[in-house]
């Protein structure tokens, strides 16, 4: 079935460092979504990508939709302690309403 593979599983970085994480699949997707989940809260949508090659920024966050449509990456520049959380990529299964999620990248930021 369709699966999203996220890496790395976790990152422990120093405040101020840049962060890069990615999401890959053997299947082609038409949309890539990036969510952040903070401790004790639900996932919050950060960025949505709708076209192959698209590069979109949201403040210090930048995400790209891979040209093969099988991958996406998320970069965070100049990390701060409030960036702590789990970052999930997601997309729709077979162009249906069903969202599938990657296993998440857990980010910890050392002040």
Per CB under 8 A, 59 contacts other proteins: no
Per CB under 8 A, 103 contacts other proteins: yes
Helices (H), the chain: none
Q: Which of 14, 26, 97, 111 binds other proteins (CB under 8 A)?
A: 97
Select the span of 21-29, 35-43, 57-65, 69-77 touching other proteins (CB under 8 A). 35-43
Q: Which of 28, 44, 78, 108 binds other proteins (CB under 8 A)?
A: 44
Q: Which of 100, 111, 101 lies closest to 36 in space, CA to CA?
A: 101
Per CB under 8 A, 51 contacts other proteins: no
d(CA 91, CA 36): 14
Q: Where are the beta strands (DSSP E) in 15-98?
A: 19-24, 32-37, 44-49, 55-58, 61-65, 71-76, 85-92
Per CB under 8 A, 85 contacts other proteins: no
d(CA 109, CA 90): 23
Binding site for other proteins (CB under 8 A): 33, 35, 40-45, 48, 88, 97-99, 101, 103-104
């Amino acid at each position: 079935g369709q699966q999203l593979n996220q890496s790395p599983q976790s990152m422990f970085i120093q405040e101020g460092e840049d962060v890069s994480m990615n999401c890959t699949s053997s299947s082609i997707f038409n949309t890539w979504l990036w969510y952040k989940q903070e401790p004790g809260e639900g996932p919050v949508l950060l960025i949505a990508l709708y076209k192959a090659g698209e590069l979109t920024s949201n403040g210090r966050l930048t995400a790209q939709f891979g040209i093969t449509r099988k991958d996406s990456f998320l970069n965070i520049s100049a990390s701060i302690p409030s960036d702590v959380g789990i970052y999930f990529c997601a997309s729709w299964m077979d162009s249906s309403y069903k969202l599938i999620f990657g296993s998440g990248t857990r980010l910890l930021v050392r002040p």
